[in-house]
Amino acid sequence: MKHTLACLLLLALSAAAFAQTTAPSKSAASAPKAATAPAKDAAAKGPAQKAGDKAPPKSKAQSASRADIKSTASSMAAGIAAADAALTPGELAIAERVHVGTLPCELGTVVTIAADPKSPGHFDVTAKGARYRMLPVATSTGAIRLEDQRAGAVWLQLGNKSMLMNQKLGQRLADECQSPAQVALAQTLKTNPAPNLLETAPAAASPVRASPVPAAAGVVYPTGPTPPMAK
């Protein structure tokens, strides 16, 4: 510890001595510098102006190359976005069957579905203050399905009702949503319910067979030709 303090004192003393020796030289050198400042400024202006005359062609070339790079990048980005937005014929066929408009749902919820005229097959779905950009997705069950993969929202349209879900949150945002066509189908199903495929059909009645008449006791029935009756 003492050795460390001694080193620190020596460093402090040497720094003070160095400052005292350099202070006069700095004050003395400040005057010539002030005197020569205009000359240096004049000398600096000359080369700066010459360099300024040559700088514009370089800056123009650099700006042109940067503009070309930006234009190429924007064109590539537009091409990628157009490829992502393009739908298959099957997806466009699904989009034609989507019910658009304002659909009332249970608990007073309302879902609005609007087709984008500029992008066929794209839909804007609005519910509870949230807006989703949805595209059709093919399903194995035949149900109409729209998805917003970024938000995790799914619109599922069945024959008699539709529902809006959020897969990321695991919540059902709206249920029992019905368009006029779905309301009509629901009424038809109430009056004429579809057969339940899980129920077993009643067994067909087997044909009734006539039971043989038992022979009377002590009676012998002839097996051969009947003999002539006696006169």
Domain ranges of the chain: 49-86, 90-191
Instruction: Answer for the pair 125, 144: CB distance below 8 angstroms, yes or no.
Output: no
- Give the pLDDT confidence score for residue 190 in this predicted structure: 86
**Within its chain, how far is the Cα of 200 from the centroid?**
43
Report the SS3 class of residue 50: helix
Burial of 120 (0-12, 13-18, 19+ CB in 10 A): middle
Low-confidence ranges of the chain (pLDDT < 70): 1-62, 64, 73-85, 196-231
- Give the pLDDT confidence score for residue 192 in this predicted structure: 84
The pTM of the full predicted model, rounded to 2 decimals, is 0.51
- Give the pLDDT confidence score for residue 176 in this predicted structure: 95
- Give the pLDDT confidence score for residue 123 in this predicted structure: 96
- Give the pLDDT confidence score for residue 70 in this predicted structure: 73
- CA-CA distance, 109 to 125, in Å (whole number)? 13
Q: Which CATH number fits domain 90-191: 2.40.128.50, 3.40.50.300, 3.40.50.800, 3.10.450.40?
A: 2.40.128.50
- Give the pLDDT confidence score for residue 24 in this predicted structure: 46
